[in-house]
């Protein structure tokens, strides 16, 4: 794993910090031309709907579906409350696959859930924008912009804005996150 892998942020969380999108993964090399914005649900980054007659319809559908899965997955992974943290983060695990799911599971089971309960940490994530970087019928890479508000106990909330490169694989008909790297 890279210089900011899930295992390496554990000490930060153990010191009482909240887990956020910036805390995970190495910085990938996305070129400026790869950074596009999405027009919203059901549309590609280019802003056109998938046409039934388009010969690249499979890729178009993959882009649309993967962006939705990446956005929903990011929100699920980064949102929790102290009274429901275990259920919240367990539900997020069903959106993940492979070694990334194992790393995420280990982190949230061993550190995040316990700290959220002990320190009364609430985290709310939203995705104001997301776009497809590349997609095939079974693999996709998306750029997701995440806004996260974290409250620790009675302290004032803190806001973090992050950009994340989300890698997804289609497994049994579902887009699952296999990589989550802040950029």
- Residues 116-151: pLDDT tens digits? 999 999 999 999 999 999 999 999 999 999 999 999
- Residues 13-31: pLDDT tens digits? 444 454 455 444 333 333 3
Distances (CA, A) of 14 to 19, 53, 169: 10, 53, 31
Indicate whether 46 pLDDT > 60: no
For the chain, domain boundaries: 6-182
Domain over 6-182 is classified CATH 3.10.450.230: yes
pTM for the structure as a whole:
0.74
Report the pLDDT averaged over residues 62-82: 97
């Amino acid at each position: 794993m890279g210089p900011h892998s899930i295992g390496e942020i554990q000490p930060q969380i153990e010191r009482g910090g909240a887990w956020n999108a910036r805390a995970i993964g190495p910085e990938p090399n996305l070129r400026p031309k790869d950074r596009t914005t999405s027009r919203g649900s059901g549309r590609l980054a280019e802003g056109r709907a998938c046409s039934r007659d388009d010969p690249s319809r499979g890729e178009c559908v993959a882009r649309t579906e993967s962006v939705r899965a990446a956005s929903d997955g990011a929100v699920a992974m980064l949102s929790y409350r102290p009274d429901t943290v275990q259920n919240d983060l367990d539900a997020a695990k069903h959106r993940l696959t492979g070694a990334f799911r194992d790393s995420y599971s280990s982190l949230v089971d061993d550190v995040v859930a316990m700290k959220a309960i002990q320190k009364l940490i609430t985290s709310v994530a939203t995705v104001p924008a997301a776009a497809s970087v590349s997609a095939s019928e079974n693999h996709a890479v998306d750029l997701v912009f995440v806004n996260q508000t974290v409250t620790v106990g009675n302290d004032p909330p803190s806001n973090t804005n992050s950009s994340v490169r989300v890698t997804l694989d289609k497994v049994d008909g579902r887009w699952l996150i296999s990589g989550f790297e802040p950029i």
